[in-house]
């Protein structure tokens, strides 16, 4: 089956900007205390549920993966872009990073205690979200948790340039309830919705509210 065109465009975009992206945004999580608090709560829930690892899907330069490991979780990263994976491996040589797609993960069924998709669903078209969330459901163990982060809003915008690179890819803003409904249809129970206002951090300014959804795969029947 031919690879969807949006995957090709997304891979090309991040391959082109990988080095400059890692330099520009690799430290962003350190500037977002509320975001780190949400990740801490997520990691605690996953550890309490069992020993299965966390996959950071769409890991980019690996900062979220490393942060989860620093908190005592066992986490590894997956990214569509080979160049992004190379950046993550260079920055965190002791951690595991792999190339892969959220639509077809090279992972066994029910193998993960947690999944983080930290701003990595923003390039997926609406019609592909059910497939993506179905794949996340497949690899989550019963009782496992999923944490999503994305920009709040509506519509698609094309970022035609980034860090001086002439590259183009679609970015999608979404409403939390829209995403929550797709998660429910995939079989995941939405446990929390958080929307925070744009951060006024001078180094990493934001222009729209940010949404975070926590969902859980139902536990297996006793």
Asked, for residue 91, whether it belongs to a domain, the answer is: yes
Q: What is the pLDDT of residue 158?
A: 63
CB neighbours of residue 209 within 10 Å = 15
Residue 60 belongs to what domain range? 5-216
Statement: the pTM of the whole predicted model exceeds 0.75? yes
pLDDT at 100: 97
Q: How many domains does the chain have?
A: 1
Asked if residue 144 belongs to a domain, the reply is: yes
The first and second tokens of residue 80, run together, are 């569509």
75: nearest Cα among 67, 83, 87: 67
> Residue 22: inside a domain, yes or no?
yes
Residue 222 lies in a domain: no
Domain membership of residue 113 (yes or no) is: yes
Query: Could you tell me if residue 221 is inside a domain?
Result: no
| 3-state SS string for 92-117 | CCCCCEEECECCECCCCCCCEEEEEE
Identify the pLDDT of residue 200.
85
Q: What is the pLDDT of residue 1?
A: 64
Check pLDDT > 50 for residue 222.
no
Q: How confident is the model at residue 16 (pLDDT cuts 50, 70, 90)?
A: very high
Give the residue, 101 or 166, on which the prediction is more confident.
101
pLDDT in tens, 27-59: 999 999 999 999 999 999 999 999 999 999 999
Contacts of 180 (CB under 8 A, 6+ apart): 190, 193, 213, 215
pLDDT given for residue 11 in this prediction: 95
- 61-120 pLDDT tens trace: 999 999 999 999 999 999 999 999 999 999 999 999 999 999 999 999 999 999 999 999
Q: Is residue 132 part of a domain?
A: yes
Task: Write the CATH number for 79.
Answer: 3.40.50.150
């Amino acid at each position: 089956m031919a690879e969807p065109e949006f995957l090709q465009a997304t891979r090309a975009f991040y391959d082109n900007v990988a080095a400059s992206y890692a330099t520009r945004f690799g430290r962003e999580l350190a500037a977002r205390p509320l975001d780190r608090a949400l990740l801490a709560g997520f990691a605690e829930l996953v550890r309490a549920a069992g020993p299965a690892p966390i996959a950071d899907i769409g890991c980019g330069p690996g900062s979220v993966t490393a942060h989860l490991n620093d908190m005592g979780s066992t986490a590894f990263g997956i990214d569509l872009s080979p160049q992004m994976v190379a950046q993550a491996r260079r920055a965190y040589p002791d951690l595991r990073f792999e190339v892969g797609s959220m639509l077809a993960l090279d992972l066994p069924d029910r193998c993960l205690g947690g999944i983080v998709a930290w701003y990595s669903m923003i390039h997926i078209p609406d019609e592909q979200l059910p497939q993506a969330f179905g794949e996340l459901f497949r690899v989550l163990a019963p009782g496992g948790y999923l944490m999503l982060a994305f920009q709040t809003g509506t519509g698609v915008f094309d970022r035609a340039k980034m860090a001086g690179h002439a590259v183009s890819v679609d970015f999608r803003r979404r409403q939390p309830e829209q995403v929550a409904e797709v998660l429910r249809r995939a079989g995941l129970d939405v446990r929390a919705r958080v929307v925070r206002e744009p951060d006024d951090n001078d180094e990493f300014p934001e222009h729209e509210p940010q949404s975070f959804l926590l969902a859980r795969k139902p536990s297996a029947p006793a």
